[in-house]
């Protein structure tokens, strides 16, 4: 009988507690019911916008300019970076493949950058270094650190 007395004396408290718990629960259930998964193409478009925002906040190497961000035919986010000085472009062209990649990494987001959260598994950011429309070097940025060793 003591339970029925507690319910009777604290009726407003219990009613407000139930409303407080049920209303957010119903709202969350409705939101999950109407939520939709993003398609791969939509996810790539969101990733391209995230890369643009990242480049706006963290411009590439001093003097270099990000000119265009797009999704190419192989479903990769590509960032065109212009190297305006002729002598810099010549130095990059004259180096070995490994050294050119080291120059390219100067335009890549850092390994722990938040932009990688928007890229799923196999998608990577590609950098296209060019000097007045002629490609100097094009390659993908290194993978995100959190993906694992040698990824």
Residue 144 has pLDDT above 70, yes or no: no
Q: 101-126, pLDDT tens digit by residue?
A: 998 888 888 888 888 887 776 778 99
Write down the pLDDT at residue 46: 86
Q: Show the CA angle centred on residue 28, arms to residues 22 and 33, nearest 5°.
A: 125
Q: What is the pLDDT of residues 83-103, one digit of tens each?
A: 988 988 899 899 999 999 998
Statement: residue 149 has pLDDT above 50: no
The predicted pLDDT at position 81 comes to: 92
CA distances from 2 to 5, 6, 7, 37, 69 (A): 5, 6, 9, 50, 70
pLDDT at 80: 92
Q: How far apart are CA 85 and CA 103, in angstroms?
A: 14
């Amino acid at each position: 009988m003591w339970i029925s007395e507690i319910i009777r004396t604290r009726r407003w408290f219990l009613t407000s507690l139930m409303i407080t718990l049920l209303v957010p629960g119903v709202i969350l259930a409705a939101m999950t019911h109407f939520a939709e998964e993003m398609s791969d193409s939509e996810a790539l478009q969101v990733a391209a916008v995230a890369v643009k925002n990242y480049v706006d906040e963290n411009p590439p190497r001093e003097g270099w300019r990000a000119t265009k961000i797009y999704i190419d035919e192989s479903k990769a986010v590509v960032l065109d970076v212009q190297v305006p000085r002729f002598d810099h472009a010549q130095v990059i062209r004259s180096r070995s493949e490994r050294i050119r990649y080291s120059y390219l990494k100067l335009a890549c987001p850092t390994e722990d950058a938040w932009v990688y959260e928007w890229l799923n598994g196999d998608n990577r950011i590609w950098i296209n270094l060019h000097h007045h429309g002629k490609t100097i070097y094009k390659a993908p940025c290194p993978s995100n650190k959190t993906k694992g060793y040698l990824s």
